[in-house]
Amino acid sequence: EGAYEPVDWSRCLSSCATTIGGNRSGPVIYVESTLSETTVIDGFIITKGDRGIYTLLSSVAVQNCRIVHNNTAGSGGGMRLDHSFITITNSLVADNTAELHDAAISVISTVAIPGPYSRVRIYNSTIASNRASQGRNGIFCSLSACSAVNSIVWGHEGEDFSGHMYSATYSDIEMELAGEGNISEDPRFVDQVNGDYHLRPDSPCI
């Protein structure tokens, strides 16, 4: 848990930043074999890793986090989630890159690894401006289920979602994904080029 005021140690999610930098030497946060108990990652800037978060056979809740400027030679620059149950709440996954595929989030289940199929649920979050060298810049679900609610998925070259079993409701999806309450309108970020993904007062997402 991060984002504490260093003077009196009160929590200040809006203004206090606790940064974990990966120094490009591996995933910034790696979680393995925690299916029996949920690991909570709350209030961090997770950056400059070979992947931001990597989970394997785990149950993880990511909340109030900024997962930005991570890069991998493989897939899943922002997050790679293998055979895991994940919730992402009030978080930003942006400006991550991958040399292969799935720059933002790679949600994987394979027959080679025994265990449950992955399931990812995204709430009140923004997934934006991630880039992969060989396509699939947004969220990719392989034999997995991924859903987004009240979220923004925008600014990817190619599809925002791809693969198997993905859905969204009450969200702004650039690829015009069908779903109750969905729109496909410019979210009007304050300064997308320089990484400010707050919404302007005239944003249709407010």
- What is the 3-class SS of 104-141, one letter each residue? CEEEECCCCCCCCCCEEEEECCEEECCEECCCCCCEEE
For the whole model, what pTM was predicted? 0.93
- pLDDT, tens only, 105-137: 999 887 666 667 889 999 999 999 999 877 677
From CA 126, how far away is CA 143, in angstroms rounded? Answer: 23
From CA 33, how far away is CA 195, in angstroms rounded? Answer: 33
* pLDDT mean over 182-201: 96
147's CB contacts (< 8 A; 6+ apart) are 120, 121, 122, 166, 167, 168, 169
- Neighbour count for residue 14 (Cβ, 10 Å): 7
- Return the structure tokens found at 158: 């190619």
Instruction: Convert 142-157 to b/e letters by CB count within 10 Å (16 or more is b).
Output: bebbbbbbebbbbbbe
pLDDT of residue 100: 74
From CA 103, how far away is CA 95, in angstroms rounded? Answer: 9
Helix, strand and coil in the chain, % to nearest 5: 0, 45, 55
* pLDDT mean over 47-51: 95
* pLDDT mean over 88-107: 89
* pLDDT mean over 90-98: 95
197's CB contacts (< 8 A; 6+ apart) are 92, 94, 126, 128, 189, 190
pLDDT of residue 110: 72
